[in-house]
Structure 1
């Protein structure tokens, strides 16, 4: 590995951020991670210590910086060669006040890019989402395959949700800003991110699995989603860092498209001791509920159609296939059970 200089990772306490910091340290890089509160730094260090031992942690610095506050960002950027902007706000529900999600995504990205540019940083690798790719294209039924050439059209969507709005506007801003200021930008677009939790402070996306194990998901929608393992998301960030040809490119981080009921089938076969539901919710009920807002609003655009995201470009970058959806589901289940994140059911 050649010396890539100091790498700043925003959102070092997050699921993707923590895995990315881990893999950067494992690869020998010097890393500075941002946390919203330094009070969280010791738990991050403790988690990484358990995975890496003390030696690599000597190359890690954690600093306080909030996406919605200028304080701390100028200092965070000092001496940095590359920014990996991963931090964002993710919620399981659809808030009545959409700014709770949109502001960290859009204003946070604007703040990170502005301070990076002020510090003379010319390389940014950003975690985006499939939400910025496959929506607003008129698909209401059937199967359609999306690749990196698609950009979500918010103006053509009947149903928008806060995360989609925030991430789409953030990406639009990022490409415009990067072009204007000569910044080498790469964006990574994950699907539903699951995979092994490093500690109990993991993403709400793991509820796709843990909710079926603990019964908090009593019935499933029939639609599916493109799964990606968090380890592959981190690997794409490192691959972009090491390969200059990734500048100016978008990469979908998506393995197989998996219907939600198939997730249940995989879990029931591997963990018969858990009472995993096989019940599904009719599409018309989800559409009715979603019309009033709430969590169902986040999936209404996927009901009745099959959005497939072609991850072959990302696999080519890694030089291998992504971790399979089944292996990711099982790794997620094993970790949430081992860490006590789900309560044991009796049969």
Structure 2
């Protein structure tokens, strides 16, 4: 490990945040993690201690800092050499007030970058999203492959959703700010993040699998996802930490494109007695529902087309292939069942 000093990880209670901190501690880094409230600090330390042993926590410090409040950020940045900005707001629904998602993404990023710059920090690794890459390019049907050279064009989108707007504006700000202030920035762009849950506070993105197991998905839409295992997302953050060649670069964290019906098939094959649905929702119904808002708005741009995000650049950085979608799906299912996060449906 190259000596990098103290690393600040924002969003220590989050799915990616915990996994990234775990991998950084495993490599011997000193880590300071931010939490919105120190009342959740025990949740983080208990989880990491189960995975790494109590001794590893000697290299971990947790501090209170909220993306929407200046309080605590100057102290959080003190003595830090690198910021891993992972924290953001993710919701399963599409809120009527989009600022509930946009503000933490954009204003939170602005706050983190400005306090980092004030502290003299010149290295930031930021978790972005494929939502900042593959939208607003006029694709309404067929298959198209996207790489890191694509930037989402919000002005060319008929249907936007809060997460896409927030993350895109946040990344636009980040690159402009980094250029102006001489910050070495790397952005990592995950697809649909699943994989093993570490505790009961797992990401809502695991709902792709838990919803099927619990019978909360009565029928699947036709669209697919570029799935990525959280362990690979964390590995990319650590690799970027150690590799100067990543300065000024974007990396797609995306394994193979997987249609939602195929996700259901994989879960059904592994858990045949859980009653996983075989029904499909016609595209026209999804489009109709999405036109009125609600959760379907988040996938309306993916209905009737196949967006493939090429993760080859990031795989080259890691020196290996990403964990496959099937393995990630099954690891998700196994972990949520083991942790008791899902209840087997009672046959009707």
Q: What TM-score bracket applies, with the shorter chain setting the length?
A: over 0.9
Counterpart residue number, 2:55: 55
Where 2:251 maps in the other structure, the secondary structure is strand
Q: Tell me the SS of whatever aligns to 2:237.
A: helix
Structure 1, residues 171-207: CA drift from partner, whole Å, max 9, x if none?
Answer: 0000000000000000000000000000000100000
1:346 Cα offset (Å)? 4.2
Question: Where does residue 94 of structure 2 map in the other structure?
Answer: 94
In structure 1, the partner of 2:74 is 74
Residue 269 of structure 1 is matched in structure 2 by 269
Gaps of 5+ in 1: none
- The answer to whether the 8 Å contact 1:256/1:324 transfers is yes
Shift of 1:69: 0.2
1:234 aligns with 2:241: no
Residue of structure 1 equivalent to 2:43 = 43
Match of 2:312 in 1: 312
Task: Find the aligned partners of 1:110 and 1:43 in 2 and give their Cα distance.
Answer: 27
* Cα distance in structure 2, aligned partners of 1:15 and 1:2: 26
Within 2, Cα distance between the matches of 1:278 and 1:87? 36
- What pairs up with 1:1-347 in 2 under 5 angstroms? 1-347=1-347
- Aligned to 2:273, the other structure's residue is in SS state coil
Quick one: distance in 1 between partners of 2:43 and 2:174?
31
- Give CA deviations for 1:15-49 in whole Å, capped at 9, x if unaligned: 00000000000010000000000000011100000
CA distance in 2, matches of 1:60, 1:41: 11
State the 1:345 CA deviation: 2.7
- Deviation for aligned residue 1:148: 0.1
- Alpha-carbon shift at residue 231 of structure 1 (Å): 0.3
Report the alpha carbon displacement of residue 330 of structure 1 after superposing the two structures with TM.
0.1
CA deviation vs aligned residue, 1:111-156 (integer Å, no higher than 9, x gap) = 0000000000000000000000000000000000000000000000
Could you say what secondary structure the match of 1:273 adopts? helix
Which 4+ runs in 1 deviate beyond 4 A? Answer: none
Q: Deviations over 1:38-72 (max 9, x none)?
A: 00001110000000001110000000000000000
Number of residue pairs matched by the alignment: 347
- Partner secondary structure for residue 207 of structure 1: helix
Shift, 1:273, TM fit: 2.0
> Is the CA contact 1:273–1:345 (under 8 Å) kept in the aligned structure 2?
no
> What CA distance in whole angstroms lies between the structure 2 residues aligned with 1:155 and 1:345?
44
* Runs (5+) with no aligned partner, structure 2: none
